[in-house]
Amino acid sequence: MGGNNNKRIAKNTIILYGRMIVFLVISLFTSRIVFNTLGVDNFGLYSLVGGIIIFFSFLNNGLSAATKRYITAEIGKGATGRPRYIFNICVHAHIIIAIIILILAETIGIWIVNYILNIPPDSLRAANLVFQVSVIMAIIGIIQSPYMSVIVAHERMNIYAYFTIIDVILKLLVIFLVQVIPGNKLIIYSFLILGSGIITFFVYNSYCRKTFTTCHLQKIKDKPLLKDIFSFMSWSLLGQIAVVSTNQGVSVLVNIFYSVTVNAAMGISSTVTSIVNNFVSNFQIAFNPQIIKQYNNGEYNDLTTLIIRASKISSYLILIFLIPLCFETHNVLHLWLGDYPQYTVPFVMLTLVAIYFEAISAPLWMVIYAQTKIKQYQIVISLVYSLNFILGWAILWLGVLPYNVITIRVFIFMVLLAIRLIYVRKTVIGFNSLRWLREVCLKSLLISLVTFALLFPLNSLLNINELLHIVIISGVSLITMLILIYGIGLDSNEKKAIYTLIIRKLRLNYTF
């Protein structure tokens, strides 16, 4: 991998992590206030009904993948590329998708909210209002998506950091207003979140139109290219439908067999795990453009190194959170929220394990998406993904505890990881699956076992207050893992890069 690319990736990663730290602090602060202000039932209702619209947004997710892939590939071509024309085709496609989602939401979506979900009658009016707000936010997100894809394709990750200031101000303003405005807190919160989303939409879009000539609208005439992008999107959608069945579909099943209180537990676990997952996804965003460009340029040796490195570091980032939370989830939730719903702890733990396997396999599916022929892959992945919903329904019908739906998800994600390894081996010339397993999984397992072996006796010996217990366990875990990661988790080139980064005070003039 070239020095310039490494410098750009390292710089973007640091910028994204600076943004994420700020976002983490604000998210923990605001989510506690939101939970306490709305109450368990309203929080569960918001998580459930607001999540229904995500079911319809799967169309946009598939198209977003196509948008990032095609725009990034065009930029990678240099002078011969047509990123502006590709962008305009994608904008037209997103508008079409927005119309489709609007129709589906206002027909099937309303029917689900009013006749399928287990919602108390006195909360039905609020649920419908929350749903309509969620529809509007989904449409805004769909139209905004091509602009966000352009920022990623140009690797302008600093923009996310700058705009975090706006996000933070808006979130804090929402929290303040929901406290002082009288009325139904759930409805007030929903509309305030919508307002902040509209402001963010205009800020991002205004920046993109002023900064990138790519974002200047023009008339499109290349129908075959539009058809090509929609073909890619169609097969991508197949996988997205299965993903939604995993997340939102299972959430609906839990609501049907249990109640909104259990949905609140799932909502809290989603908040915790999304914060952890965002740390990893921010890191992976910095790698994604380079993966696409290296694949399309045929740089397979560099690409193999990049895939392994991205998967390996992703695993370490998850483990840094996962291992101490195995001991401290109860204490963290109690200090954070006070009283929390039943089943929240196992929901959090199992979901973290699931996103571990999904995180380390993300660089693999990024490579598969870098090509245009994904039909066979999506059919296989979709069939396996659908087992989350089918098996989840079966075990809930049998009366098992609700968090076991996430146990199934963990198993399915392990199977998906194996499938992606097989496809990448066929896609990338010279890719060695055994090397990937050795560098990623084996090293992660060894680091985890040593850390657990140290923490188990320490945890049993500590008899102190919650906060100090969290600090000591987390501190010992972090120090132990950092030593092990540096000692056995990184290769010589990666160690040299870290050493240079520290010694030269983040000047980023090194090579791997």
* pLDDT of 366 strictly over 80: yes
Q: What is the token pair recorded at 233?
A: 């999107």
Give the residue carrying structure tokens 């991002």. 204
CA-CA distances (angstroms) from residue 251 to 47, 355, 388, 411? 9, 17, 11, 18
Answer left, alpha or beta for residue 308, where phi above 0 means left and psi between -120 and 50 means alpha: alpha
- Report the pLDDT value the prediction gives residue 436, as an integer from 0 to 100: 92
pLDDT at residue 508 greater than cutoff 50: no
- What is the residue whose two structure tokens read 């590329």? 81
pLDDT tens readout for residues 243-256: 766 667 777 777 77
CA-based nearest residue to 370, from 326, 306, 414:
306
| pLDDT greater than 60 at residue 267 | yes
In the structure, what pLDDT confidence band is assigned to residue 116 with cuts at 50, 70 and 90? confident
Q: List, in sequence order, the alpha helices (H) in 338-465.
A: 344-370, 375-397, 404-427, 433-436, 443-461
Mean pLDDT of 135-140: 85
Q: Render pLDDT for 306-344 as a digit per residue (tens, 0 to 9).
A: 888 888 888 888 888 888 888 888 888 888 777 777 788
Lowest mean pLDDT across 89-93, 117-121, 154-158: 154-158
Encode pLDDT of 56-104 as tens digits.
555 555 666 677 777 777 776 665 557 787 888 888 878 887 888 888 8
Residue 291 has pLDDT above 80, yes or no: yes
Burial 240-249 (b: 16+ CB within 10 A, else e): bbbbbbbbbb
CA distances from 400 to 104, 392, 396, 407, 422 (A): 33, 10, 6, 12, 34
378-425 pLDDT tens trace: 888 888 888 888 888 888 888 888 888 888 889 999 999 999 999 999
pLDDT of residue 445: 93
Asked whether residue 509 carries a pLDDT value surpassing 50, the answer given is no
Query: Residue 287 has which token pair?
Result: 């790698």
- What HEC string does 432-474 produce? CHHHHHHHHHHHHHHHHHHHHHHHHHHHHHCCCCHHHHHHHHH
The answer, yes or no, to whether residue 367 has pLDDT greater than 50, is: yes
Query: Taking 50 as the threshold, does the pLDDT of residue 1 lie above it?
Result: no
What is the CA angle 237-243-248, rounded to 5? 120
> What is the rounded average pLDDT for all residues in the chain?
78
Say yes or no to pLDDT of 297 above 70: yes
CB 157 within 8 A of CB 12: yes
Q: What is the mean pLDDT of residues 36-53?
A: 67
C-beta neighbour count of 3 within 10 angstroms? 12
- pLDDT digit string, tens, across residues 442-500: 999 999 999 999 998 888 888 788 888 888 988 898 899 989 988 888 887 777 766 66
Alpha-carbon distance of 266 to 268, in angstroms, equals 5
pLDDT number for residue 129: 84
CA angle 252, 242, 111 (to 5 degrees): 40
Q: Residue 352: what pLDDT?
A: 87
Contacts of 215 by beta carbon, 8 Å cutoff, 6+ apart: 84, 87, 147, 150, 208, 209
How many residues in total does the chain contain? Answer: 512
pLDDT tens per residue, range 212-240: 877 877 777 666 777 777 777 777 767 77
Quick check: 489 and 467 in contact, CB under 8 A?
no
DSSP 215-271: G-------HHHHHHHHHHHHHHHHHHHHHHIIIIIHHHHHHHHS-HHHHHHHHHHHH
Residue pair 430/405 in contact (Cβ under 8 Å)? The answer is no
The pTM assigned to this predicted structure is: 0.70
What's residue 6's pLDDT? Answer: 53
